Each structure stands twice: as C-alpha cells, then as structure tokens.
A = this chain, B = another copy of it.
Amino acid sequence: MEYTDKAIGIDFGGTSIKMGIVLGKQIVAELPSINPKHHPEPKDLIRAIADQVKVAREDHDDIRAIGCGVPGFVHTPTGTIHNLTNVPGWTDIPLQALLSEATGLPCVVENDANAMGIAEWKLGAGQHFKHLICLTLGTGVGGAVIVNNQIIRGAHYVAGELGQTSIHYAGRLGAYNNAGALEDYIGNNEFAADSQAAYKEAGIEKDIEDCTPAAMDALASHGDEIAIACWDDFAKKLACAIANCCWILNPEAIVIGGGISKAGDTLFVPLRKHVLEQLSGPFKDHLKILPAKFGNEAGIIGCATLALESIED
C-alpha cells in the first residue's frame, strides 16, 4: 500500500489538544498543542485549531482532510458531539460542520478510543484481523470493537464502552452509578490505590506515588512478591472483561494499548494465563492477545486514517 495524501489528526484531550500531520502510519510533523482551558468557548477553540491548520497547510499543500478524536459520545454520521468527559461546555456541538467550515477541509469526528482502535486495526497490531477487540488502559479504560471487518457503533453510535462493562454484579459503583465497572478496578488511580492497600495489609506503608503502574512494574520486575500479586489481580480482573467479549463475539485477537500496556510481560504473562483459563476451546485456541503497536500517537494516526478513508468513499 502506498500513501500519498496527508491528513491532520487531532487528539482532543481534557488538558491538551495534540495535533499532527499524518502520512500513512507516521506523524510526519507535530503541530503545537493547544490547552483547551485557554479557550473555554468551543468557537474560540475551533478558531485556534483552524489557525494551526492554516499554518500547517502553508508547508504541506497535500493535506486533504482532518480527523478529530474526542473523549466522549459522538453522533458519528454528522460528527456532532453529544458531550465530552472532563471538558465542560462541549454539549451538542456540531464539531464536524464547524471545523470543516473554519478550515475548508473535509472533517470527521470520532470517539477517541475508537480512533485508537482504528489505528491498531488498520495499521498496527490488529492488522489483518476481521474480528478484533481493542482496549486502551489509562486513567479510564476505552474500547473499540471490530466485527466482520467493521467497527461496531451500535444503535446510537456509542458501542465499545468496555471500561463500563461490569466484572462484579454487586461491585464498586462507577461513573454512572453502575456496579463493578472494569475501569473502577483497573484504571491507573484505582490500581495504585489497591496496590497501596495491598502493601499496607502486609505492614508496608507506601506513598501513592510509589504505587503507580510504572513503579509497580519496576517492583514486579525485581521480584517483589506483593507487586507480582497486585499485577496478577489486575490481570484477573481485566481477563474477566476480555473473556466476556470473547464469549459474546468470538474475536481473533485482543489488542491492548495505553500507558499500562507498557508493563509488557509483567502484564501480558498473567493476562494471557487468566484469559485462557476462562475460555473453552474454540474461543481460545487461536486467540491472540497483543500489545498495541502505536503509543500516544494512536489517536492522531487513527483519526487521520479515518479522515482520508472518508474522502475516498
């Protein structure tokens, strides 16, 4: 496959909006990031984005489209944002139309976890799979579901919220007062707090900063038994949600990205064990559980890919 056209991918985060010019699988140029808090009004923020697009096109006259991934619910056929998590004021905003008008370029708007999933599926660790689940592990847990070579959006375009699936019908109450949401067990902050509690139970006082996923990875890699047990517990909980996706959809592969996936074998060895323990033959015999290929740039690359595909249709 040859890549000739470029697109701008935008990763719209609550504290930073990252932008890059994408050609094929690569970000060939990063644009300065924008702090959304400096532009509390959507129209001002869209203006700031459009200004950067204009500057970028002076150096790159082959930018054909813009893709924007946002942390929230999107009506994807029109690119209208229902609302964003942790970004106040972004309710019922027709971002696709406004951004297209402000830049003169075709735009698409997509949920950020779907954007990351699309990057992995089209260009990354999930390439060549027709039935694929992508998970992004961080402060929250996001997901993207690919079935029969299509990303699944569902009746109201909000499918793939794997972080809200329950691993305990009477468990912790989550963001929507729902019981046992995966995110409330394996989100970065919850993992740190549970790890801190595990040390405390063993009579060891640790600051929460010493219980981050990175710190716990280092401890486990050096043979710390409490840390190893904490990762096993993490893997068991994540495996429950993954196995549920497998019973329901019988995918070929699971791709796992986001910060915690950097723990490598510390995570993937117990995770594979627990997932396979939960499944029967045809659900597990050929199942692949893979780390994501792209890191922080997955959102930008996924959106740009989607934007270019939309103008090819």
Q: Which residues of A contact B (CB under 8 A)?
A: 73, 82, 130-131, 143, 145, 147-148, 150, 152-162, 164-170, 175-180, 236-237, 239-240, 243-245, 247-252, 277-280, 282-283, 285-286
Q: Across the interface, do A240 and B154 meet the contact criterion of CB distance under 8 Å?
A: no
A61 to chain B: closest CB distance in Å?
38
- Could you tell me the distance between the alpha carbons of A71 and B280 in the complex, rounded to whole angstroms? 16
Q: How far is the CA of A155 from the CA of B284 in the complex (A)?
A: 11
Contacts of A73 in B (CB 8 A): 282
User: Considering the chains assembled together, what is the distance between the CA atoms of A167 and B166 in angstroms?
Assistant: 7
Is A178 a contact of B236 with CB atoms below 8 Å?
no
Can you report 6 residue pairs joining A to B where beta carbons are below 8 Å apart?
A: A73-B282, A157-B282, A168-B168, A169-B237, A177-B277, A248-B248
Whether A282 and B158, one on each chain, are in contact in the complex, defined by CB atoms closer than 8 angstroms, is: yes
- When A148-B150, A155-B130, A169-B237 are in contact, do A162 and B248 touch as well, CB less than 8 Å? yes
Closest to A133 in B: B248
Which B residues touch A244, using CB under 8 A? 165-166, 244, 248
With beta carbons under 8 angstroms apart, the residue of B160, B166, B252, B279 that contacts A278 is B166
Q: Would you call A168 and B169 a contact (CB within 8 A)?
A: yes
Distance in angstroms from A84 CB to nearest chain B CB is 14
CA distance A278 to B168 in the complex (A): 12
Is the Cβ of A179 less than 8 Å from the Cβ of B286?
Answer: no
Given A82-B282, A278-B166 in contact, is the A248-B250 Cβ separation under 8 Å?
A: no
- Within the complex, the shortest CB–CB distance from A173 to chain B, in Å, comes to 10
8 Å CB contact of A176 from B239, B248, B279: B279
- The reply to whether A240 and B282 form a contact with Cβ atoms under 8 Å apart is no
A133 to chain B, nearest CB (A): 9
Which residues of chain B have C-beta atoms less than 8 A from A154's C-beta?
131, 147, 249-251
